[in-house]
Structure 1
Amino acid sequence: MNDETKYALKKVGFYTVIFVVVIWIILPLIVAFLYGFTTKADYYDPNKVIPHHFTTEYVKTLLFTLGAWDGIKNSVIVATLTIIISFILGIPAGYSIAKFIFPGKDTIKLSIVALRMFPIPIMTIPLVVLYIRLHLADTLLGVALAHTAMALPFVVLITSSIFAGVSKEYEEAAMVFGLTRFGSFLRITLPLALPGLAAAAMFTFVMSWNEVFVASVLTLTHRTLPAQILSIMAGSSGGAAPDYYKFAAAFIMTLPSMIFIFFARKYLVTMWGITLK
C-alpha cells in the first residue's frame, strides 16, 4: 500500500467520523423540529415517517398559554447573572492560581475540583432551608447563585489555564512602561485571554440553561425554562403529555441555546483570529 492510498484512507476515515458525529448531533434536532410542528393526524399516521402537514399550535400553546415564554426570559436572566457572578469571582481566582506561587496552591486546586464531588440532591433540604432564611427562595438571584456554585469550579480551572498560557513577560513589559499590575492585566492579559473566557462563558451559559433540578426545587412561580417545561409535562394528565408537545418543548428548549452558541462561536473564532495576528 503506497503513501497516496494510506492518505486517501485516512482522509475517508476522518470525514466518515465527522459525518457520524454531525448526524449524531443534528438528527435529534431535526426530529424535534419535524414532530414538534407536525399535525396530530400526521404524527399518529403509521404510514408517514416524515410528516406532510405542519402547525405552530403546540409551540404557541407552550409559549403563551402554559408559560414557557416567561421561562425563557427567566432562564436568560439567570444564565446572564450566573456568567457575571462566576466571572467576578472566578477570574481573580484563576489569575491568582496561574500567576502567583503560594503555600497550599495545589491543595486549593484539588479542593475546587472536590466541590463537584457532592451530588446536588443530597444538599436539597439544607439549601432550601438556607434560602428561606435568606429570603432567596423563589427568586432568580437565588437560582443564579446556586448555578454559580455549580459552574464556579470549572470557571476557575478554565481561567487559570488560560492565564497560565499568557506569557508573564507581556505584563512585565507593560509595567516597565508605567502600568500597574492591574492596568497591565486589563490592557494586556485580559484581551489575550478573551477567546478562552468566551469558551468559559459558553460553558457557563449552557450549564445554567440546561440545569433543571435546582431550579425546580428553589422556585415555584419564577421558574426557568427547563423547570417550567418539567412542570408543564408533569402537570399534564399525570405526566402523560402528548408526544408532539414533548417534541415542541424540546425544540423550544434547544433553539435559544443554539442561537447563543452560534453567536458566541463566531465571536470566539474572531477573537482567535485577532490573537493569532
Structure 2
Amino acid sequence: MNDKTRFMLKKLLLYSFLFTIVVWIVLPIIVSILYAFSSKLDYYDPQKVIPTHYTTQWVKTLLFTLGAWDGIKNSVIVAILTIIISFSLGIPAGYAIAKFIFPGKDTIKLSIIALRMFPIPVMAIPLVVLYIKLNLIDTLLGVALAHTAMALPFVVLITSSIFAGVSKELEEAAMVFGVTRLGAFFRITLPLALPGLAAAAMFTFVMSWNEVFVASILTLKNRTLPAQILSIMAGSSGGAAPPYYKFAAAFIMTLPAMIFIFFARKYLVSMWGITLK
C-alpha cells in the first residue's frame, strides 16, 4: 500500500467517522421536529416513515394549555440569573487562579473539580429543608442559586483558562502608564477575554436550561420548562403522555437552546483560540 492510498484511506475513515457523529446528533432532532407536527393518523400509520400531514395542535396545547410557555419564561429568567451570579463569583476566582501564585492553588483547583463528585439526589432532602428555612422554596431565585452551585466549578475553570491565555505583559504595560490593576483588568484583559466569556455564558445557559432534577424538587408552581414538561408528561392520563406530545415536548425543549447556540457559536471557536495560544 503506497502513501497516497494510505492517505486516502485515512481521509475516508475520518470523513466516515465525522458523518456518523453528525447523523447521531442531527437525526434525533430531525425526527423530533417531524413528529412534533405530525397528524395523529400519520403518526400511527405503519406505512409512513415520514409524515405528510402536519398540525400545530400538539405544540400549541403544550405551550398555551398545559403551561409550557410559562415554563419557557421561567427557564429564561433562571438561566439569566445563573449566568449573572456564576460570573460575578467565577470571573474573580478564575482571574486569581490564572494570574496569581499562592499557597494551595492546585488544591483549590482540585477541590473545585471535586465539588462535582457528589450526586445531587443525595443532597435533595437537605437542600429542600434548607430552602424552606430560607424561604427560597418554589422561587426562581432559589433555582438559580442551585444552578449556580452546579455551574460555578466549570465557570471558574473555563474563565481561568481564558485569562491564562491573555498576555500578562499587556496588563503590566497598562500599569506602567498609570492604570491601576483593576483598570487594566477592565480595559485590557476583559475585552480580550470577552469572546471566551461569551462561550462560557453559552455553556452556563444550556446547563441551566436543560437541568430538570433540582427544578423539580425545589418548585411546585414556578417550574422551569424541563420540570414543567416532566410534570405534564407524568400527569397525563394513565401516567404517560401520548407519543406525539413527547415529540412536541422535545421540539419545545431543544428549539430555544439551538437558537441561542446558533447566535453564540462563533464565540465558542474564539474561546478555543484564546485558550490554545
Superimposed CA distance per residue, residues 10-60 of structure 1 (whole angstroms, 9 cap, x where no aligned partner): 222222111111101100001101111111111111111111101000000
Superimposed CA distance per residue, residues 98-143 of structure 1 (whole angstroms, 9 cap, x where no aligned partner): 1111111111111111111111111111111111111111111100
Runs of 5+ unmatched residues, structure 2: none
Separation (CA, whole Å) in 2 of partners of 1:188 and 1:169: 11
Which amino acid is the alignment partner of residue 122 of structure 1?
V
Partner of 2:175: 175
Q: Please, what TM-score do these two structures have when normalized by structure 1?
A: 0.95
User: Could you list the runs of 5+ residues in structure 1 that have no partner in the other structure?
Assistant: none
Matched residue type, 2:146: A
Provide the residue aligned with 1:40 in structure 2: 40
Moved more, 17-26 or 241-250: 17-26
Moved over 4 A (4+): 267-276
Q: State the alpha-carbon separation in 2 of the partners of residues 274 and 238 from structure 1.
A: 52
- Secondary structure, counterpart of 1:46 in structure 2: coil
Q: Does the CA-based 8 Å contact 2:72-2:224 persist in structure 1? A: yes
CA distance in structure 2 between the aligned counterparts of 1:173 and 1:26, rounded to whole angstroms: 48
Alpha-carbon distance between aligned partners in 1 of 2:239 and 2:169, rounded to the nearest angstrom: 60
What do the CA deviations read for 1:220-250 (whole angstroms, capped 9, x no partner)?
A: 1110000000000000014221000000000
Match of 1:229 in 2: 229
Give 1:275 deviation, angstroms.
11
Give TM-score, length-normalised by structure 2: 0.95
Which amino acid in structure 1 is aligned with residue 128 of structure 2? Answer: V
**CA RMSD, aligned part only?**
1.8
**Aligned-pair CA distance for 1:87:** 0.4
The change in CA–CA distance for 1:204 and 1:122 in structure 2 (over 3 A counts) is: same
Kindly provide the amino acid, as one letter, of the partner of residue 247 in structure 2.
F
Match of 1:19 in 2: 19
Question: What corresponds to 2:217 in structure 1?
Answer: 217
* Compared CA separation, residues 166 and 266, structure 1 to 2 (3 A): closer
Residue 146 of structure 1 is matched in structure 2 by 146
Q: Which moved more, 1:260-269 or 1:216-225?
A: 260-269
Residue identity opposite 2:62 in structure 1: L
| Counterpart residue number, 2:248 | 248
**Counterpart-to-counterpart distance in 2, 1:11 and 1:239:** 49
